[in-house]
Amino acid sequence: MKYLDEYRNPQAISKIADEIARTASRPWTIMEVCGGQTHAIVKFGLEQLLPDDLELVHGPGCPVCVTSLAVIDRALDLAARPEVIFCSFGDMLRVPGSSRDLLSVKATGGDVRAVYSPLQAVKIAEDNPGREVVFFAIGFETTAPANAMAACLARRRGLRNFSLLVSHFLVPPAIEAICTAPDCRVQGFLAAGHVCAIMGYRQYLPLAERFRIPIVVTGFEPLDILEGILLCVRQLEQGHYGVENQYVRTVQEAGNARARQMVEEVFDVDNQDWRGVGAIPDSGLRLRPAYSQFDARLRFPNETTPPADDSGCISGEIMQGRRKPAECPYFAGRCRPEHPLGAPMVSTEGACAAYYRYRKAEIVDEH
């Protein structure tokens, strides 16, 4: 497929890997923020192509993984209501809440439907005027324009039976939180290309400046990721700390103006709780008051105290780059894709799922 295959060409990949090896004179630690990149790195074995002392640490950029337990439990509650059709991206269905997951709600009679686009949920609401349709609107900046459009179209079409359970996350405040952590080891970042396709990358300039850290906007194919690493290593070697754009074919400096306008119209910034990581100020989105009739939290009020996460899952450590999935005592033992203890074992962008799928044999050997 065009724009995929050529970026997976083995000769081209090893050429960039060689260039990285020639450029790096010292150990460096680089974080790829986005789970999509983590998946590609593990799938294509990119770490094995890098110098031994160039470490990639995996960041928190998996919306399925960071959606808080309280929100998952709220989703489970809503999905179990007889009047509700609960629509969610498929990845979310097996994420464990405090006592069960959406699939088990479905198995006991809940009307839970996997959708690949929020517009499908809008359509389901139009086709089922007698039912309440709730869409689980999770995501980072990349997904926000799509979820915002669903709310906007529902309002235009006068839908009274559609609402969103919003769990949205913003990348720059997470980078800031990672950089201010006292034990931060990260020396450079690969920023998520598709987040920047929407938002542009001006937001990263003050971060690079303040933390004196290079940030390279990077795509998702092996060649993109290695080129992103190369640009980052070059900056590190030269003592630079700027924002660079590797993913020029897709990302413009100002992002996508129309998409940003739609996000602005529907959402405003809010504090957000990240599963395993904790609260980060101004790192989430909520519906603006003009859209409050589409807020599932207001439509189905339900005050419960959020439970404590006592599964033993160390996803927070993993998503802040402090530990690797293989260091989790439950990896491939009590925690497997068939019975996950934590979300990173479920999601396609989850680091644990990627390690399980592509590197389990080697890890289990080491143990």
Partner 1 sequence: MCLGIPGQIEQVTDSAPLERSGVVRFGGICKQVNLAYVPEAGVGDYVIVHVGFAISRVDEAEARRVFDYLAEIGDLEHELGPAAPPAQHKEKGAEQ
Give contact residues for ligand SF4 (rule: CB under 6 A): 313-315, 318, 325, 328, 330-331, 335, 340-342, 344-345, 352
- Closer to partner 1 by Cβ: residue 308 or 361: 361
Helix H or strand E encompassing 35: helix 35-43
Q: To which residue do tokens 């489970």 refer? A: 76
DSSP for 216-239, written as a single string: EEE-SSHHHHHHHHHHHHHHHHHT
Shortest Å, Cβ 143 to partner 1: 6
Burial classification of residue 182, based on how many CB atoms lie within 10 Å of its CB (0-12 exposed, 13-18 middle, 19 or more buried) = exposed
Nearest approach in angstroms of CB 332 to ligand SF4 is 7
Q: How far is the CB of 29 from partner 1 (least distance, A)?
A: 22
Query: Shortest approach of partner 1 to residue 210 CB, angstroms?
Result: 27
325 binds, options ligand SF4, partner 1, none, Cβ within 5 to 8 A by partner type:
ligand SF4
Q: Residue 35 binds what, of partner 1, ligand SF4, none (CB under 5 to 8 Å, by partner type)?
A: partner 1
With beta carbons less than 8 A apart as the criterion, state whether 58 and 321 touch. Answer: yes
**CB atoms closer than 10 angstroms to residue 253:** 12
Give the residue with the Cβ less far from ligand SF4, 234 or 360.
Answer: 360
**In terms of CB distance, is 196 or 236 closer to partner 1?**
196
Q: Could you tell me the smallest distance in angstroms from the CB atom of residue 335 to partner 1?
A: 21
Contacted by 341, from partner 1, ligand SF4, none: CB < 5 to 8 Å by type: ligand SF4
Which is closer to partner 1, CB of 213 or CB of 229? 229
Is the CB of 33 or the CB of 314 nearer to ligand SF4?
Answer: 314
Q: Which is nearer to partner 1, 116 or 304 (CB)?
A: 116
Between 249 and 339, CB nearer to ligand SF4: 339
Q: How many CA atoms lie within 13 A of 133 on its CB side?
A: 26
Q: H-helix or E-strand containing 167?
A: strand 162-169
Separation CA 40–CA 45 (nearest Å): 8
**How far is residue 164's CA from residue 317's CA, in Å, rounded to a whole number?**
30
Output the CA–CA distances (angstroms, integers) from residue 83 to 33, 79, 119, 132, in the order listed. 39, 9, 20, 6
Positions in the binding site for partner 1 (CB under 8 A): 1-4, 6-8, 10-16, 19, 34-36, 43-46, 48-49, 61-64, 89-92, 116-120, 138-140, 142-143, 145-146, 149, 152-153, 156, 194, 197-198, 220, 222-224, 227, 248-251, 256, 258-259, 262, 347-349, 357-358
- Is the distance from CB of 259 to CB of 145 less than 8 angstroms? yes
Taking the complex as a whole, how short is the minimal distance between the CB of residue 130 and partner 1, in angstroms? 25
Give the residue among 276, 271, 97 at the shortest CA–CA distance from 168. Answer: 271
CB of 103 to partner 1, least distance (A): 16
What is the rounded CA–CA span in Å between residue 49 and residue 34? 20
Quickly count: other Cβ atoms within 10 Å of residue 254's Cβ: 11
Residue nearest to ligand SF4 (CB): 342
Q: Which of partner 1, ligand SF4, none is residue 354 near (CB under 5 to 8 Å by kind)?
A: none
Distance CA 102, CA 192 (A): 28
Per partner kind, with CB cut-offs from 5 to 8 A, the member of partner 1, ligand SF4, none near residue 98 is: none
Q: For ligand SF4, which is the closer residue by CB, 13 or 314?
A: 314
